Structure 1
Amino acid sequence: MNSLKKVLAIMLALIMLVSVFAACGQKTDEPQVSQSPTPSASGAEQENKEPEPVTLKLLGHSGIFETSEAVKSAVEKFKADYPHITLDITAIGSNEYNNKRAIMIAGGEQVDAMAVSNPLDTLNLAQSGMIVPLNPYADATGLKPEDILSQDIINMENFDGSIYKLPYTTTAWVLFYNKDIFDDAGVPYPDANKAMTWSEYREIAKKLTKGSGADKIYGAFQLVWPQYWYTYAISSLGGGESFYTADGKSNISDPKFAEALKFNYDMQFSDKSLIEYFDVKMQKLAVPTFATGKYGMFYTGSFAINALAKQELDFKLGIAPLPIPDDADESYKYTFGGSTGFAVTRTAKHHNEAYTFAYEMVKNFAEVADNIPAYKSDDTTDRICQIFADKYPGHDLSADLWKDLLFGEQEFITEKITGPASVEYESIVIEEMEKYYTNAQSLEDTIKSIEKRANEAIENYNEANK
């Protein structure tokens, strides 16, 4: 009996010891990685084993899942390639999307992957913890972002050394212009190979402007987005990161920002060559407004290519590079833009499969896209540029011209304010800018107020995220 007790005691001790070592081997402070394999992640031991069925819960706004034929086609290809993965898609109206996704994730509802529309949104969601780093899932599946995306795009979706979104489409900004207005004013067309300077842009806008009232022709058009004044600054300073100093505070006191704000103010209120900000806001003017034929120039994103092609243009359209700083080398070209793609959320249950969906959408979309895909190859670029050329018959906009302006040698800079408390920072910029435009405060006070409020927002953000 005593011998039996000793044997039982030894066996119990061994079981407890094994349990301790097993527990010590588990890590709970790293992002979860799904155990069910994807086709790309299967090991040799699983070659003859059917993957287990998985249902992915996907979230996006209706403009993505219900309106875009290219997205629909890309989704169908994924279903065919991964028959063991069922897609449960929830499409929400664009106006409600941001609030509803926050409520769903805060409530712990399963959302494996969700659509995220621009780098500023990506940064905000990453900072709030609503989406998680993708690096562990790239390692687990063997599907590397660098194999399908350029380094510029990866950098755009990177925060604190991790990538948070795989974009399937991107935008690039160019200068659209009305050739008829240039002809009427006797002004040469902008050079497609050499960018005009900002000073030249302003002078040309003055020359194109004529008339008054409902019949007035404006030299330039802009939307209410703050990029329309601060592009002047970031084209010199290097993108949205330039809103911050090296030590992470507001950099709005850099003279280029005040110069940019005054430049835009003067075009509106002194030259009267640029439609006023509040007219745009009150009338809710949008990209298609340029098609009315009352504006000489309009720099905006490549999303306008399809939007303008849907309008009946009674003038010839031209395209050219964005204006550059006066002191830049004359060969300098740059562009900027946003992106749309998918991210894995913190309430995901099938992380590897969600990541695989985001990855495959990058490739699938590129095969059927009618706008700029994030995945770039020579074949894809040639196909897209020919599509753009075909949208504008009779406008002398060749595929080679689109290719040079959208995909040619140029610097890509970040479009929006990129750093801590970026969403609040941008709201502050807009509020203070509007006070300046209504003469409620001076330019100097506008810059000081932005700096004070932005630094408070940054400090509060840093304190909350210690």
Structure 2
Amino acid sequence: MIKKSVLISTAFLLLFALSACGSKGNNSGSDKEVTLKFLNISEYMDSTEFKAFLERFQEKYPNIKVDPISVPHEQYINKRNIMLASGEQVDLIWGNGVEQFDAINKGFLMPLDDVAKEVDVDMAKDFGDFKPDKDGKYYRFPIQQNNWMLYYNKKVFDDAKVPYPDAKVPMTWDEMAVVAQKLTNLSGKEKVYGMFYNNWGMYFYGYGSQLNNGKFYTEDGNVNINAPEFKRSLEWMNDVMNVKKAAIPIAEFIQNNTDFLSYWNGNYGMVVGAQWYAQLAATKKDQFPRDWKAGIAPMPVPTEMAGKHMNWSSIDSLGIPKNSKNAKEALILAKEYITDYTLSTGTLPMYTKVNKDKYFEDLANALKDDDITLEQVTHLFGGDPNVINVEEKPILGAPQEYESTFLDLVSQYYTGSKTVDEVLNEVKEKVDIAIKEQKNN
């Protein structure tokens, strides 16, 4: 799942643009003029932040022209596959973890190790603890690692006379379920659910990933979604949704076209979300007016991990297709994208040469109206060296098929038409076939 682009305030943009613009002139180290085709989702590419970034980039690198190819996310994979499989020139593509590993498995991307050196990037050192993708080589140019946490509505907690979550010690999932039930009020003029979720895979199997350290595949490379940890995770959500009635039923969720922005209407007590929710809390009160304050706390953990700070790790990245004729210039664009555009949207890049302290200070300042402190921001938005990262989603064998098949079938469990075992075994059967087919191609 992507995290749909959320626009950040002009204040954020100005803070980061000044340090990112650089001087005018030809800074690419190349005299040739090129035009790069940059394929990205429209949720990012059509944003005011991206358009402003592109103007800065063209001024800084006048010999590198950019031809943006903007595609809605629901059409993105199909468009990408058609363009790359046909041999059409594309120089840079965006993707989340599932999408980029799908591109790697399909043989669409080139390794970046050598070309990165030409633009003064060390793939092994400049992105923290970032490991090679395949056969000891790097195929992804990391943008950011998501930092997940618990967001909560202080007014809903106050109305229910329930204490706020601890700022440092995470709730267990079982504790969260109890709190969500206490916050729920379905008898009022407007329903208030104690917990909000998104119809994305990690909201159903992510608890299980914490339990088994992201083991989405068996040792022989097949699907492991029917493992006891993932089953327990799905059953937990069923308890919250259908037994405790503390989350909107999935059929109603889908029928109403509910999206992740819906949390901000004020009718939900808590949601587990990544850093993109903070952008709404900080800067979009005009678009999402609210009379309540938001709080942040560590994301919940299984009882077995009580007291530990955990995170679902998913890396958005850029890749260079094999049919690019301008790999060096494409990586220059990628480098500017992560250090300039990404910061301008209020997100911390994985690139270690950016100023993290300034990022935390600026974000805390933008969240001060919610009484969120610099210490909280630093701890939860990437400043805790002791955080335990586990896989957010399956990214190795047939990742696109894995995620889409799971989401196609999981609602049948929550609506009662199939048991949890039937759903998980069917997902395994179908995706195992897809993995085998990919290996044979």
TM-score by length of 2: 0.85
Shift in alpha-carbon separation, 1:444–1:191, aligned structure 2, 3 A:
same
More displaced 10-residue stretch of structure 1: 201-210 or 385-394: 385-394
Q: Distance in 1 between matches of 2:125 and 2:341?
A: 16
Q: How does 1:71-150 map to 2 (within 5 A)?
A: 71-114=50-93, 116-150=94-128
Q: Which has the higher helix share?
A: 1
1:210-359 alignment to 2 at 5 Å?
Answer: 210-212=185-187, 215-239=190-214, 242-308=215-281, 309-310=283-284, 311-330=288-307, 332-359=308-335
Are the counterparts in 1 of residues 112 and 140 from structure 2 also a CA contact under 8 Å?
A: yes
1:59 to 36, 39, 43: 39
Question: Match of 1:199?
Answer: 174
Give the drift of 1:234.
Answer: 0.5
Residue 53 of structure 1: how far off its partner (Å): 2.9
For residues 131-210 of structure 1, the aligned pairs below 5 Å read 131-151=109-129, 154-155=130-131, 158-210=133-185
Give the number of the structure whose alpha-carbon radius of gyration is greater: 1
State the alpha-carbon separation in 1 of the partners of residues 99 and 171 from structure 2.
32
Distance 1:299 1:204 in 2: 14
Structure 2 CA distance for partners of 1:187 and 1:345, relative to 1, 3 Å: same
Please, which of 375, 388, 402 is the counterpart of residue 425 of structure 1? 402
Deviation of 1:214 after TM superposition, in Å, equals 5.3
Give the secondary-structure state (helix, strand or coil) at the position aligned to 1:158: coil
User: In structure 1, how many angstroms separate the alpha carbons of the residues matched to 2:73 and 2:399?
Assistant: 21
* Displacement of 1:184: 2.0
SS in 2 for 1:163: coil
User: What amino acid sits opposite 1:321 in the alignment?
Assistant: P
- What is the CA distance between 1:158 and its match in structure 2? 2.1
Residue-pair matches, total: 410
3-state DSSP of counterpart to 1:58: strand
Deviation at 1:98, TM superposition (A): 3.1
Q: In the TM superposition, what is the alpha-carbon distance from 1:181 to its structure 2 partner?
A: 1.6
Aligned residue among 381, 384, 402 for 2:377: 402
Aligned-pair distance for 1:162?
2.3
2:429 is the alignment partner of 1:452: yes
RMSD of aligned residue pairs (Cα, Å): 2.5
The alpha carbon displacement at 1:347 in A equals 1.6
- Gaps in structure 2 of 5+ consecutive residues: 1-25
Provide the rounded CA distance (Å) in 2 between the counterparts of 1:61 and 1:442.
36
Deviation at 1:168, TM superposition (A): 2.9
Of the structure 1 ranges 418-427 and 71-80, higher mean CA displacement relative to structure 2 is found in 71-80
Give the TM-score, by structure 1 length. 0.81
